[in-house]
Amino acid sequence: MENFTEHQQDKYKLNFKKMIKIKTILVGLPQQEATRITIRPIIDSTTALDCNTYFEIFSESKLLLNGNYQINQEQYFNWGRDNSFIENIVIKGLGLERI
């Protein structure tokens, strides 16, 4: 995390251990190696039939890419007790591979 500013280190320090390791890919301009992702569901209401997710893709030392990924009604309905189901949908949908 040597390239993170002090503020970024504080922000991401707790989440770094929770990041999901992915097969290395090249992203950005200039291209850099991405090796981790975080994924968070965004649920609008208790009666929602689908949801968005927010993802962040990191190298070993900095945030490279972020965005949203939509979870459809069927996927949302099949969501279990933890976020691994949603994480796997997003990872596959983004064309990434979990390691």
pLDDT tens digits, 31-79: 999 999 999 998 887 777 888 999 999 998 889 999 999 999 999 888 8
Q: Which range of residues forms the domain containing residue 33?
A: 6-93
Q: Quick one: CA dihedral 78, 83, 87, 88, positive or negative?
A: negative
Residue 98 lies in a domain: no
Task: Tell me the pLDDT band of 14, cut-offs 50, 70 and 90.
Answer: very low
Residue 71 lies in a domain: yes
Q: Is the pLDDT of residue 81 over 60?
A: yes
Region 2-31: what's the mean pLDDT?
A: 73
Residue 55 lies in a domain: yes
Give the pLDDT confidence score for residue 17 in this predicted structure: 58
Total tally of structural domains belonging to the chain: 1
Q: Can you read off the two tokens belonging to residue 36?
A: 């981790």
Name, in order, each residue with C-beta under 8 angstroms of 46's C-beta and a sequence gap of 6 or more: none
Residue 99 lies in a domain: no
Name, in order, each residue with C-beta under 8 angstroms of 16's C-beta and a sequence gap of 6 or more: 1
Q: What is the pTM of this model?
A: 0.79
The number of C-alpha atoms within 13 Å of 53 and in the hemisphere containing its C-beta is 25
